[in-house]
Amino acid sequence: MAETGKILILCAVSVVTLAICILLLLRSYMKVRNREEVLKESIENLGKLNDKLRMDRHDYLNHLQVVYGLMELGEYEEMNSYLKKIYKEILKTGKAIKTSKPAINALLAAKNAEAESKGITFVIEVKSDLKKLQIEDWELCKVLSNLIDNAFKALEESDREEKKVRIDINEDPERYYFTVENNGPMIPEELRASIFKRGFTTKKEEGHGMGLSIVSEILEANKGKIDLKSNEEETQFTVSLGKGEE
């Protein structure tokens, strides 16, 4: 009888051990799968950015011909107006290509194009090259992508005349800061602590809650922080991450 009890205990321990191993394998598999999905999206974004740069180069040669022709004709006022329009287009792409991380640059360029298609003003301010970034590029892409998508979602039902999303990438001697700001509806005070929890959603606040648990989990794993400020004028998420060695 005692021998049977020992066998049962051994079997139980084996089953529990096997279950733990399966759970760990599933967790690793999901992590790899998520990474592959983000990497695939990053490659697609890089391809789109490369195509846009090629098109821009071709277009700029044509623009130069037009400007030269206007100058030859003495149409200086028309030439000035034409150059202003070209300059705005150059800024749209140029502002998104200021970091040392091609995947981040491609993501910002892709989101800029998406914002334009949605009628959203997309402002990018990059004040850091991110050379000492410790977090994996694909993980940061996932964080920024989720925050930007939530900003777009928050503006979908907004009655603002001008819908605006601003991205600010900055740094100090110890940390990097990534701010995603939109002028959509305010997030109620009582919901702010809950929106980062897995499974949280309400019909009204669905736009803010989507993907924020993923953002929180990635930042927790990389010793990062996220700060939320929201009022009637704007909602601002600021992510901070420590620096590593070059």
pLDDT tens per residue across span 104-136 = 888 998 898 889 889 999 998 888 989 899 898
Query: Does residue 206 have a pLDDT over 50?
Result: no
Tell me if 131 sits within 8 A of 246, measured CB to CB: yes
pLDDT confidence of residue 116: 87
The predicted pLDDT at position 148 comes to 95
Is the pLDDT assigned to residue 22 strictly greater than 50?
yes
Percent of the chain, pLDDT > 90? 29
Most confident of 8-17, 55-64, 161-170: 161-170
* Architecture of the domain spanning 34-242: 2-Layer Sandwich (3.30)
Segment 87-110, tens digit of pLDDT? 766 666 555 567 888 888 889 988
Which among 76, 73, 115, 74 is positioned nearest to 92, based on CA atoms? 115
Which pLDDT tens digit goes with each residue over 138-158? 899 999 999 999 999 999 878
The 10s digit of each residue's pLDDT in 230-246 is 999 999 999 999 997 65
Kindly list the domain boundaries of the chain, sorted by start residue.
Answer: 34-242
With a cut of 80, say whether residue 30 has pLDDT above it: no
**Higher-pLDDT residue of 209, 64:** 64
| Res 165 pLDDT > 80 | yes
The average pLDDT across 3-26 equals 70
Q: Can you tell me the mean pLDDT for 169-189?
A: 93
- The answer to pTM > 0.85 is no
pLDDT-derived band at 38 (thresholds 50, 70, 90) equals: low
The yes-or-no verdict on residue 4 having pLDDT over 80 is no
pLDDT at 43 over 80: no
